[in-house]
Amino acid sequence: MNAPQDIAALKPPVAAQADKKSGPPVPLLVIGALLLAGGLGLGGRMWWRSQHLVETDNAFVAGRLHPVATRVAGVVTEMRMQDNVLVKAGDVLLRLDPADAAVQVERLKAQIAQADASIATSAAQIAQAKAQAAATGSQVAQAEAVLARTELDAKRSQALFGAELRATSKQELDAALAARDVARADLAARKASANAAREAVAAAESARQSANAQKSATQAQLKDAQNQLGYVEVRAAADGRIGKRTVEVGQRVQPGQQLAAIVEPETWIVANFKETQLARMKPGQKVHVKVDAFPGQDLLAKVDSFSPASGASFALLPPDNATGNFTKIVQRVPVKLVFDADSLKGLGEQAARIVPGLSVQVEVELGE
Q: Is residue 16 part of a domain?
A: no
Residue 244 within any structural domain of the chain: yes
- Mark which of 170, 203, 230 sits at the end of a domain: 230
Domain hosting residue 178, numbered range: 99-230
354 with 326, same domain: the answer is yes
Picking from 175, 196, 230, the residue at the C-terminal end of a domain is: 230
- Alpha-helix runs per DSSP H in the chain: 3-20, 26-52, 99-162, 170-230, 341-345
CA distance 36 to 28: 12
User: Is residue 40 in a domain?
Assistant: no
Q: Are residues 160 and 226 in the same domain?
A: yes
Q: Is residue 14 part of a domain?
A: no
Residue 19 included in any domain = no
| 3-state SS, residue 348 | helix
Same domain, 152 and 268: no
Residue 189 and residue 93 in one domain: no
In a domain, 277, yes or no: yes
Based on the fold, state whether residues 56 and 108 are members of the same structural domain.
no
220/318 same-domain check: no
Cβ–Cβ < 8 Å for 218, 139: no
Domain count, the chain: 2
Q: Are 52 and 366 a contacting pair, CB within 8 Å?
A: yes
Is the pTM here over 0.75, yes or no? no
Residue type (1 letter), 113: A
Instruction: Assess whether 202 and 303 both reside in one domain.
Output: no
Residues in a beta bridge with 82: none
Q: What is the CATH number of the domain that holds 73?
A: 2.40.30.170
Rounded CA-CA distance 186/180 in Å is 10
Residues 261 and 361 both lie in one domain: yes
Other beta carbons within 10 angstroms of residue 114's beta carbon come to: 14
| 166 closest CA partner among 157, 174, 155, 176 | 157
Same domain, 281 and 218: no
- Give yes or no: residues 319 and 207 share one domain: no
Question: Are 107 and 85 in a shared domain?
Answer: no
Q: Quick one: which of 49, 45, 47 has its CA closest to 37?
A: 45
Structure confidence at residue 15 (pLDDT): 47
| CATH code: domain of residue 212 | 1.10.287.620
Considering 199, 230, 261, which residue would you say is the last residue of a domain? 230
Angle between helices 99-162 and 170-230 (to 10 degrees): 170
pLDDT of residue 23: 57
Ranges under pLDDT 70 in the chain: 1-24, 45-51, 153-154, 156-158, 160-169, 173-174, 322-324, 368
Among 238, 239, 236, smallest CA distance to 259 is for 236
- Does residue 71 share a domain with residue 132? no
**Residue 26 and residue 6: Cα distance in Å, rounded?**
32
- Please indicate, yes or no, if residue 351 is contained in any of the structural domains: yes
- pLDDT tens per residue, range 71-99: 989 999 999 999 999 999 999 999 999 98
Q: How far apart are CA 143 and CA 190, in angstroms?
A: 7
- Residue 9 in any domain: the answer is no
